[in-house]
């Protein structure tokens, strides 16, 4: 019996295939990042689509489960992948991390019921540990020289100690709400995870130029995050006072205003979180007509 050839074989030399999550909590922010980077998903990236073209004819997007992405990249089915660092570690895939996207922050922790007398990892010798991350958990306890029995679950791990299935869990914690709600206490931290861009090592050599273009585009969005652009008019004699308020931030650009020689336009990139306070200081220093604008990308 002959096997049908795959509809989407390993991408050829002129094409970079980037795998991103098809669903789950990190998929929304990743889609947004792709859009802002200017790549733009041609068909909007509906959940059921397998592959979508982008605005760049040499880049296509493959939608996959976050846990499968490391292996797709390692095997060359995709050249690049965006997924959690925890997923990459769990699969132990031969991929190279090329960029930290600085989102999807979560910590994989060892936790036990609040009332448990377990204080340290060593106290867990002989215990049952439930987790969605058996490989990472096995390596962690082996690294501590502590023998445990690992119980692999597919989710809702926090329930297992209360059901008598496990004595401890190794699970992700982000806001800490789920641990608190389930009366669990952290004993140790296993891994800090963020969303990362990983590459197939061979693709990294063969398709370096296009991959660098993608990294540059994604990096420029990350760099712009939390920053905004301030524009204002300042009387020339108040410029020194306005500069006083602005230093420390990326140096302001000062331009003449053609219609009024006593006036200068001052532009600066500032942190969003500082804008509220800064505006009042700038006004007191003599700035007027202040505009606050979002920044989509910063390219260096
Ligand atoms: N608070 C969090 N809890 C779980 N995962 C998180 C959290 N914050 C970020 N992540 C990251 O999201 C990814 C989880 O992907 P996953 O496919 O499991 O999606 P999910 O949102 O957990 O959906 P589900 O569990 O329903 O499948 C991991 O890489 C993980 O590190
Ligand atoms: O610290 P928090 O902000 O509360 O987040 C942590 C929770 O989020 C994840 O669960 P998820 O929603 O993925 O469900 P799951 O356990 O079924 O995977 C994780 O497994 C924790 O349960
Ligand atoms: Mg989950």
pLDDT of 49 reads 78
pLDDT of 1 reads 66
What digits encode the pLDDT tens for the residues 193-251? 999 999 999 999 999 999 999 999 999 999 999 999 999 999 999 999 999 888 655 67
Centroid of ligand 3 to alpha carbon of 281 (angstroms): 45
Asked if residue 88 and residue 157 are part of one domain, the reply reads no
Asked if residue 124 and residue 67 are part of one domain, the reply reads no
Sheet of 287-294, strands arranged across:
250-257, 260-271, 227-235, 287-294
Asked if residue 113 and residue 179 are part of one domain, the reply reads yes
What digits encode the pLDDT tens for the residues 63-110? 999 999 999 999 999 999 999 999 999 999 999 999 999 999 999 999
Can you tell me which atom of ligand 1 is nearest the CA of 193? 31
Residue 273: CATH number of its domain: 3.30.70.120
Centroid of ligand 1 to alpha carbon of 1 (angstroms): 40
Asked if residue 130 and residue 146 are part of one domain, the reply reads yes
Asked if residue 203 and residue 73 are part of one domain, the reply reads yes
Of 193, 213, 243, which one is at a domain's C-terminal end?
Answer: 193
Pick the closest to residue 106 from 17, 200, 189 (CA basis): 189
Of 193, 214, 249, which one is at a domain's C-terminal end?
Answer: 193
Asked if residue 205 and residue 90 are part of one domain, the reply reads yes
Does residue 130 sit within a domain?
Answer: yes
Can you tell me which atom of ligand 1 is nearest the CA of 66? 17
pLDDT at 45 over 90: no
Does residue 161 sit within a domain?
Answer: yes
Considering every ligand atom, which ligand is closest to the CA of 179? 2
Which residue is closest in CA terms to ligand 1's atom 27? 24
**To which residue do tokens 């960029």 refer?**
99
Indicate the number of domains in the chain. 3
Give residue 234's domain range. Answer: 227-294
Does residue 6 sit within a domain?
Answer: no
The reported pTM is: 0.91
Residue 86: CATH number of its domain: 3.40.190.10
**To which residue do tokens 């976050």 refer?**
66
Where is pLDDT greater, at 90 or 8? 90
Question: Could you tell me if 255 and 265 are in contact, meaning their C-beta atoms sit under 8 angstroms apart?
Answer: yes
Asked if residue 142 and residue 208 are part of one domain, the reply reads no
What digits encode the pLDDT tens for the residues 248-273? 556 789 999 988 999 999 999 999 99
Asked if residue 178 and residue 137 are part of one domain, the reply reads yes
pLDDT of 4 reads 80
Does residue 206 sit within a domain?
Answer: yes
Residue 260 CA to residue 213 CA, distance in Å, equals 42
Does residue 3 sit within a domain?
Answer: no
Q: Which residues line ligand 2 (CB under 6 A)?
A: 155-158, 171-178
Asked if residue 270 and residue 133 are part of one domain, the reply reads no
pLDDT at 275 over 60: yes
Asked if residue 182 and residue 132 are part of one domain, the reply reads yes
Complex prediction ipTM: 0.94
Residue 267 CA to residue 252 CA, distance in Å, equals 5
Asked if residue 143 and residue 28 are part of one domain, the reply reads no
Which residue is closest in CA terms to ligand 2's atom 9? 172
Residue 32 CA to residue 29 CA, distance in Å, equals 5
Asked if residue 204 and residue 95 are part of one domain, the reply reads yes
pLDDT at 44 over 80: no
Does residue 9 sit within a domain?
Answer: no
What digits encode the pLDDT tens for the residues 128-153? 999 999 999 999 999 999 999 999 99
Of 183, 207, 224, which one is at a domain's C-terminal end?
Answer: 224
Does residue 2 sit within a domain?
Answer: no
Does residue 259 sit within a domain?
Answer: yes
């Amino acid at each position: 019996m002959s096997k049908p050839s795959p509809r989407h074989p390993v991408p050829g030399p002129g094409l970079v295939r980037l795998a991103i999550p098809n669903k789950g909590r990190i998929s929304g922010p990743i889609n947004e990042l792709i859009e802002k980077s200017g790549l733009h998903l041609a068909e909007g990236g509906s959940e059921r689509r397998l592959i979508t073209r982008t605005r760049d004819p040499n880049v296509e997007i493959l939608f996959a489960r976050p846990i499968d992405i490391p292996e797709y990249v390692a095997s060359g089915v995709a050249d690049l992948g965006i997924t959690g660092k925890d997923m990459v570690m769990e699969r132990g895939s031969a991929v190279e991390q090329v960029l930290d996207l600085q989102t999807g922050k979560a910590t994989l922790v060892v936790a036990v019921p609040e009332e448990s007398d377990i204080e340290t990892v060593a106290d867990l010798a002989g215990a049952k540990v439930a987790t969605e991350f058996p490989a990472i958990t096995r390596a962690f306890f082996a690294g501590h020289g502590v023998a445990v029995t690992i119980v692999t679950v597919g989710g809702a791990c926090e329930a297992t100690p209360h059901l008598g299935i496990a004595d401890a869990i190794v699970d992700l914690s982000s806001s800490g709400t789920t641990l608190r709600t389930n009366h669990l206490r952290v004993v140790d931290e296993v891994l800090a995870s963020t969303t990362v861009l990983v590459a197939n090592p061979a693709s990294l050599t063969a398709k370096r130029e296009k991959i660098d273009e993608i990294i540059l585009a994604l990096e420029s969005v990350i760099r712009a995050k939390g920053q905004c652009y301030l524009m204002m008019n300042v009387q020339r004699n108040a410029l020194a006072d306005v500069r006083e308020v602005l230093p420390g931030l990326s140096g302001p650009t000062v331009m003449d205003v053609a219609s009024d020689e006593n006036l200068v336009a001052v532009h600066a990139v500032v942190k969003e979180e500082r804008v509220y306070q800064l505006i009042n200081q700038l006004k007191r220093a003599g700035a007027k007509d202040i505009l606050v604008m979002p920044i989509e990308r910063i390219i260096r």
